[in-house]
């Protein structure tokens, strides 16, 4: 693979940010698996599409064929290829928020995933994620597993704004949110692993490590065993209960889940998140969801 046109794809239904390759049945299945559906009906629809492609191949994908212009220059893609031992295809996940730069892709070899690539303009995002992922021995905790880091680099030749990391890819099958997550166990595992690796900076003494994007769509079941906890780019120090408050608020806003019983001292965490959510771009496709999240946070 090189920069420039990188195969033929179909944009998957929904936000249109997932490009499913049509080069083979296996490649198309890997692309369909990239959809991060959360509501039961949507997950069922994803499984139906996955099953149709498994039986009849990529011709079952709805939508027009399109190309995709890979970012960066050939040196970036050669470095990535060297890091994973070569790949010959990809399924693409574009960030759905127009205000957030970057792209991700499942790297494929003969249709099989060999890694999950993230390309970012801000090296700090990948620094935080790499630091967090490497804090978990063998990529596991008692409550969840995380992807292993396979490679890291930046564009050669002085090209600014092209930092990349390849991590372990989840199995190429649809994943769903955990139905009854052990949030206390998840938060405990996050704090225990990150406390010694996150730079504290000027964070107050009572703040705790957080995942930074703990949501139902980032804590997912994919096959047997522990759920996967992904997307650690915002790992940082935060007020007590920050991860718990954000999980409950987002699940309520997006999925209609009850807030449940929260600790009595969540006001600082709620204000912390309200300030962050209020800064998000109003023109993004998820602006309405962010407003619902903000409304919930302001009640806590």
- Of 149, 167, 185, which residue sits at a domain end? 167
**pLDDT computed for residue 14 by the predictor:** 78
Beta bridge mates, 106? 91, 116
Say yes or no to pLDDT of 71 above 70.
yes
- pLDDT, averaged across the chain: 91
**pLDDT computed for residue 3 by the predictor:** 47
Q: Region 225-246: what's the mean pLDDT? A: 97
Q: Region 12-29: what's the mean pLDDT? A: 92
- Of 167, 188, 210, which residue sits at a domain end? 167
Say yes or no to pLDDT of 131 above 50.
yes
**pLDDT computed for residue 222 by the predictor:** 94
**pLDDT computed for residue 5 by the predictor:** 46
- As a whole number of angstroms, the distance between CA 170 and CA 3 comes to 25
Q: Region 32-49: what's the mean pLDDT? A: 95
**pLDDT computed for residue 103 by the predictor:** 84
pLDDT category, 72, cuts 50, 70, 90?
confident
Residue 201 and residue 110 share a domain: no
- Of 109, 138, 167, which residue sits at a domain end? 167
- As a whole number of angstroms, the distance between CA 219 and CA 178 comes to 6
Residue 204 and residue 106 share a domain: no
Neighbours of 265 (CB within 10 A): 10
Q: Region 20-48: what's the mean pLDDT? A: 95
Domains of the chain: total: 2
Q: When comparing pLDDT for 34 and 14, which is higher?
A: 34
Residue 15 and residue 92 share a domain: yes
Residue 188 and residue 261 share a domain: yes
In DSSP notation, 7-66 reads EEEEEPSSSS-EEEE-S-HHHHHHHHTT----SHHHHHHHHHHHHHHHHH-GGG--S-EE
- As a whole number of angstroms, the distance between CA 279 and CA 242 comes to 17
Residue 139 and residue 214 share a domain: no
Say yes or no to pLDDT of 121 above 70.
yes
Among 56-70, 83-97, 237-251, the range scoring the smallest mean pLDDT is: 83-97
Domain span at residue 265 reads 176-297
Angle at 107 between CA 105 and CA 109, to 5 degrees: 155
Q: Give the phi and the psi of residue 297 in degrees, each rounded to 5.
A: -60, -35
**pLDDT computed for residue 4 by the predictor:** 43
Say yes or no to pLDDT of 219 above 60.
yes
Residue 201 and residue 149 share a domain: no
Q: Region 157-172: what's the mean pLDDT? A: 81
Residue 46 and residue 29 share a domain: yes
**pLDDT computed for residue 98 by the predictor:** 59
Model-level pTM? Answer: 0.93
CATH number at residue 269: 1.10.510
Say yes or no to pLDDT of 2 above 60.
no
Residue 80: which of 228, 89, 280, 292 has the closest Cα? 89
Q: When comparing pLDDT for 70 and 199, which is higher?
A: 199
> 58 CB contacts (<8 Å, ≥6 apart)?
10, 20, 21, 22, 23, 24, 25, 27, 28
Residue 150 and residue 206 share a domain: no
Residue 151 and residue 90 share a domain: yes
Residue 101 and residue 41 share a domain: yes
Q: What is the per-residue pLDDT across 201-215, written as a single tens digit (0 to 9) for each?
A: 899 999 999 999 999
- As a whole number of angstroms, the distance between CA 284 and CA 295 comes to 17
Say yes or no to pLDDT of 195 above 80.
yes
**pLDDT computed for residue 220 by the predictor:** 97
Residue 290 and residue 228 share a domain: yes
In DSSP notation, 73-139 reads -HHHHHHHHHHHT--SEEEEEE-S-TTS--EEEEEEETTEEEEEEEEES-HHHHHHHHHHHHTSGGG
Residue 138 and residue 227 share a domain: no
Say yes or no to pLDDT of 282 above 80.
no
């Amino acid at each position: 693979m090189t920069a420039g046109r990188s195969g033929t794809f179909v944009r998957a239904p929904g936000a249109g940010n997932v490009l499913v390759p049509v080069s083979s049945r296996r490649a198309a299945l890997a692309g369909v698996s990239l959809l991060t559906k959360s509501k039961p009906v949507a997950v069922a629809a994803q499984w139906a599409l996955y099953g149709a492609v498994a039986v009849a191949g990529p011709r079952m994908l709805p939508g027009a064929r399109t190309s995709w212009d890979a970012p960066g220059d050939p040196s970036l893609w050669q470095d990535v290829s060297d890091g994973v031992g070569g790949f010959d295809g990809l399924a693409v996940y574009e960030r759905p928020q127009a205000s957030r730069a970057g792209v991700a892709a499942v790297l494929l070899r003969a249709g099989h995933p060999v890694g999950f690539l993230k390309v970012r303009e801000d090296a700090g995002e990948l620094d935080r994620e790499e630091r967090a992922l490497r804090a978990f021995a063998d990529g596991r905790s008692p409550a969840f597993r995380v992807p292993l880091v396979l490679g890291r680099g930046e564009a050669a030749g002085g090209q600014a704004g092209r930092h990349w990391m390849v991590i372990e890819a989840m199995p190429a099958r649809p994943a769903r949110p955990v139905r009854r997550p052990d949030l206390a166990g998840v938060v405990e595992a996050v704090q225990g692993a990150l406390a010694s690796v996150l730079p504290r900076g000027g964070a107050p003494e009572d703040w705790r490590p957080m995942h930074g994007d703990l949501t139902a769509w980032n804590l997912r079941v994919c096959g047997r065993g522990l759920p996967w906890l992904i997307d650690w780019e915002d790992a940082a120090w935060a007020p007590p209960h920050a991860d718990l408050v954000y999980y409950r608020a987002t699940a309520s806003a997006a999925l209609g889940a009850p807030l449940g019983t929260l600790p009595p001292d969540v006001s600082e965490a709620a204000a912390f998140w309200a300030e962050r959510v209020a800064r998000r771009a109003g023109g993004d496709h998820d602006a309405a969801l962010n407003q619902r999240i903000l409304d919930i946070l302001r009640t806590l």
